[in-house]
Amino acid sequence: MSAVTVIYALMFYAATVMLVAGLAYKIAVYARTPQPLKIPTTPAPTTKAGVAWRMTKEVTVFASLFKSSKWTWLFGWMFHAALLLVLLRHLRYFTEPVWTWVALLQPFGKYAAFAMLAGLLGLWARRIVVDRVRYISSPSDHLMLLLLVMIGASGAAMKFIDSAHTDIVSLKAFILGLMRFDWQPLPTDPVLMIHLGLVIVLMIIFPISKLLHVPGVFFSPTRVMVDNPREKRYVRGWTASAQPASGESAK
Amino acid sequence: MADFETPKLQEYPIIPHLKRGVMEHSSPFVAKPDHQASVGFPGELVDNWEAKAVEKLGDIARNNKAFKVFLDSCVKCGACTDKCHYYLGTTDPKNMPVARQDLLRKVYRRYYTFSGKYFPWLVGAEDMTQEVLDDWYSYFHQCSQCRRCSVFCPYGIDTAEISMAAREIMDTVGKGQKYCNEIIGKLHKIGNNLGLPEPALADTLEGLEEDVKDETGVDVRYPLDVKGADVLVITPSADFFAEPHIDGLIGYGKVFHQAGISWTLSSYASEAANFSMFIGSPDNLRKVAMRIRDAALDLGVKRIVVGECGHAWRVAYSFWNTLIGPFDFLDKNYPVPQHIIEVTHGLMQRGALKIDKSANDDRRITFHDSCNVARASRMGNFPGGQFVLPREVIKGVANHYFDMAPETIHENTFCCGGGGGLLTDDLMELRVKGAMPRMQALKRVVEENDVNFLAAICAICKSQFTKTLPYYDFPMDMIGSVHQLVSDAIVLGAKD
Ligand code: HEM
Ligand code: HEM
Ligand code: SF4
Ligand code: SF4
Ligand code: SF4
């Protein structure tokens, strides 16, 4: 067992723990924090099914973003849709036998890698060129894009540049080994090292960065609350304490 | 008129380039110790205020989901940056919604996030300092809490929530805004924002009855503190004396008169507006609202109806049931509370009002969707009723109606520029500049459709437009109430 294998194996375990525990903690905090008042941004659905539909549109086609900025929507949606496809394709490294639907997705890899990179570069260009977006950007906002571009570029390099190819079969053995606590050697091609190293960084920063928009979107009260304050009395947090008793004047 | 330039209205709306610091000088008068005391806050900046402010910030984050989720979730995508009327009107980058949030977020990150604690330069985290406080005081009083940014943000991040929290934190450490806190203090003491005591109110209403009698020959009543009336009307106190608001109040009275509904106003709860929302103060919010429950119980009414007021309607529609419900002592056949537009609309649908539309024939009307009605409440029983009902009422009493451009109405409406506790003379420059996007849309319909009447259903909008219309070369009496239109078209005593 080479030192590289041991180091990467340990880093993957650590990163997985941080990602899962960090996200679980954040989700628990969001779920537990009370929302004292009804604040859906109206017009809002008056039923739970309506809210489910509203959220489906937000998460799948970024409906609000579409309304506000066509360029950001175009690049942003392209990036996210491609990212989803890429991640689903990656499931082939984690499953044995590979699920049929994952196998069926494999031919689309080419497009996904380039769409993802194009989307990211478009978003980055906007961040640099548009004075308003440049003003609100911190170093971390640029670095996040850099990180994703580098992950995408190193992945694409492995796929499309002959000299950067890696031994997929051994890599898969390594990953399945990690999952079964039966370590196998990791191929040490430099591009793969970079790809995996950056993925580990991404996993670690996920729960402590703006990537919290992923759980956040499902907890945003202005989007997920039902518009029915008159029909159904709502109390939480401080509004649930010290209620006036019915029929009694608190004068 | 003043020492600032009124923005020029362009042919088409443009997104301006940013100019740093141009509104840094704009901040409202600071509350005096007795104003602060009247709303339960320290009179001046407390010792060790930095730590206390940070502590309060953490406290809100633990007790308010929206605040917490909004602070964590923003990806700096920039979609909101050109959506705020104050940015469009002033070009100051700190008036971009996300930049406004960041004034607070940078402190949250510094003290409450891993990255901000250990790598502040990376995520733009900053300590709580005097400069930060000054920026807060200035720019959190350049937000009318209109929620326009929230409509366009992919996560619905509502800068209004951040502004409310920031103002609460500032109040807690002793730096309050004079305008809001003085008004809330008056309300606690007397029952309305203007400080009108019961005799003055009774006098005004009596005068109103005489005026209407002179004009129409009919005895329309404007009752006060009548026990056993069916309907308690809660309306902004501006309706009692300010122009053009009072014509709306006259209209409500005529509607009830024609429909034969017994109603009353209350001297104890003589204010619909609840400014406590602007300063994000739970205690004051509930205390102000509680007057209404008490008045309703005291007078033994069956229904509560709210007059034309944007913020008031948000608090009433969205918060009353939570704050002062349950309303099981009221008639279950009516929504609680009900908007006066809903009442009039319902009566018109049933043909209970006789209307002569030609009375409004000299008017070519457009409608300003008040932002707090549009984006924080509803009317009727379907989403978007808040856009449909007022327009149907207007079209039901007048022949010439024209909407402004679609990107400036309904949920996209631009705030009048004076909401959220900014309707004070010490913020005149901000108010005029913030009105620019609305004025631009108005100019289009004035030029294309000869519009000469801007109807609104919010007391603040009406006052704000009265002041700002002249800056843009529109006549100030262009602004009026929806119920002023109803009032003029209703045919009294002619029910068949
Ligand atoms: C439920 C799933 C997700 C939803 C609904 C979502 C939604 C969004 C939206 C609406 C934006 C703003 C527009 C844009 O810049 O693209 C955004 C930005 C972003 N998202 Fe996501 N996202 C999701 C998952 C992810 C994941 C898994 C990642 C990364 C691994 C990610 C990374 C980013 C980044 C880096 C940005 C900022 C782009 C920039 O700098 O302009 N998102 N997301
Ligand atoms: C444990 C995690 C991961 C492993 C083991 C892994 C491994 C690989 C390998 C071996 C390739 C080359 C595929 C080929 O030669 O056919 C690749 C491609 C790629 N990877 Fe990853 N990767 C991981 C996570 C990620 C993540 C989180 C992202 C995105 C944020 C990503 C983005 C890409 C892209 C865009 C490509 C090129 C297109 C494609 O083949 O789908 N990878 N990855
Ligand atoms: S709530 Fe309104 S005023 Fe405040 S930042 Fe958002 S758009 Fe601007
Ligand atoms: S639109 Fe929302 S996520 Fe995007 S920058 Fe503005 S507040 Fe942040
Ligand atoms: S005054 Fe009217 S338009 Fe302005 S913030 Fe209030 S409701 Fe909105």
pLDDT in tens, B55-99: 999 999 999 999 999 999 999 999 999 999 999 999 999 999 999
CB neighbour burial string for B202-235, b if at least 16 within 10 angstroms, e if fewer: bebbeebbeebeeebeeebbbebbbeebbbbbbb
Is A251 in Cβ contact with B294 (below 8 Å)? yes
Q: Show residues of chain A in contact with B78, CB under 8 Å.
A: 69, 72, 126-127, 130, 132-133, 136
Q: Which of B155, B330, B334 to mutate to test the interface with A (most CBs of A within 10 A)?
A: B155
Q: Show residues of chain B in contact with A221, CB under 8 Å.
A: 65-66, 69, 156
Which B residues, 390 through 429, put their C-beta within 8 Å of a C-beta on chain A? Answer: 411
| Domain shared by B178 and B268, yes or no | no
Tens-place pLDDT, residues B154-180: 999 999 999 999 999 999 999 999 999
Q: What's the predicted TM-score (pTM) here?
A: 0.96
| Domain shared by B357 and B295, yes or no | yes
Q: Is residue B177 part of a domain?
A: yes
Alpha-carbon gap: B71 to the closest alpha carbon of chain A (Å): 9
Interchain CB contact of A129 with B (< 8 Å): no
**Domain ends where: B183, B214, B243?**
B183
- Closest ligand to C-alpha of residue B100 is 3
| Domain shared by B239 and B90, yes or no | no
Alpha-carbon gap: B164 to the closest alpha carbon of chain A (Å): 13
- The ipTM of this complex is 0.95
| Domain shared by B203 and B288, yes or no | yes
Q: Is residue B478 part of a domain?
A: yes
Q: Which domain holds residue B359?
A: 191-402+451-489
**Domain ends where: B134, B154, B183?**
B183
Contacts of B392 (CB under 8 A, 6+ apart): B345, B348
| Domain shared by B299 and B358, yes or no | yes
Query: Is the distance from the beta carbon of residue B75 to the nearest atom of ligand 1 less than 6 Å?
Result: yes
Cα radius of gyration rounded to whole Å, chain B: 23
**Domain ends where: B153, B183, B213?**
B183
What's the Cα-to-Cα distance from B230 to each of A125, B107, B209, B224, B262, rounded to whole Å? 63, 51, 20, 13, 5
E strands, B296-353, in order? 303-306, 338-339
Q: Is residue B411 part of a domain?
A: no
Query: Is the distance from the beta carbon of residue B76 to the nearest atom of ligand 4 less than 6 Å?
Result: yes
| Domain shared by B391 and B320, yes or no | yes
| Domain shared by B167 and B259, yes or no | no
Structure-token pair, residue A127: 């961040």
Interchain CB contact of B155 with A (< 8 Å): yes
Alpha-carbon gap: B389 to the closest alpha carbon of chain A (Å): 13
| Domain shared by B265 and B293, yes or no | yes
Across B465-485, average pLDDT:
97
CA distance B374 to B362: 28
Interchain CB contact of B274 with A (< 8 Å): no
Distance B116 CA to ligand 1 centre (A): 21
Tens-place pLDDT, residues B245-286: 999 999 999 999 999 999 999 999 999 999 999 999 999 999
DSSP-based three-state secondary structure for B40 = coil
Q: Is residue B420 part of a domain?
A: no
Domain total for chain B? 2
| Domain shared by B223 and B358, yes or no | yes
Distance B464 CA to ligand 5 centre (A): 9
Q: Is residue B91 part of a domain?
A: yes
Tell me which amino acid residue B136 is: W
Q: Is residue B233 part of a domain?
A: yes
What is the CATH classification number for the domain harbouring B151?
A: 1.10.1060
CA distance B57 to B452: 47
| Domain shared by B198 and B67, yes or no | no
Is residue B111 within a helix (H) or strand (E), and if so which, with residue range? helix B97-112
Percent of chain B with pLDDT over 90: 96
| Domain shared by B134 and B165, yes or no | yes
CA distance B321 to A137: 41
Q: Is residue B218 part of a domain?
A: yes
Is B326 in Cβ contact with A39 (below 8 Å)? no
| Domain shared by B464 and B358, yes or no | yes
Note down pLDDT in tens along chain A; length 251 residues: 799 999 999 999 999 999 999 999 999 999 999 999 999 999 999 999 999 999 999 999 999 999 999 999 999 999 999 999 999 999 999 998 999 999 998 888 778 999 999 999 999 999 999 999 999 999 999 999 999 999 999 999 999 999 999 999 999 999 999 999 999 999 999 999 999 999 999 999 999 999 999 999 999 999 999 999 999 999 999 999 866 544 444 44
- Ligand 3 atom nearest to CA at B434: 3
Is residue B452 a contact partner of residue B428, using CB atoms and an 8 Å limit? Answer: no
Is A39 in Cβ contact with B65 (below 8 Å)? no
Tens-place pLDDT, residues B363-375: 999 999 999 999 9
B305, burial (CB in 10 Å: exposed 0-12, middle 13-18, buried 19+): buried
Q: Is residue B496 part of a domain?
A: no
CA distance B163 to B420: 10
Report the DSSP pairing between strands B338-339 and B303-306: parallel
Ligand 1: which residue has its CA nearest to atom 11? A76
Q: Show residues of chain A in contact with B290, CB under 8 Å.
A: 244, 250
Structure-token pair, residue A18: 């941080």
Which A residues, 26 through 45, put their C-beta within 8 Å of a C-beta on chain B? Answer: 26, 29-30, 33-39, 41-45
Q: At what angle are helices B198-216 and B245-259 packed, to 10 degrees?
A: 70
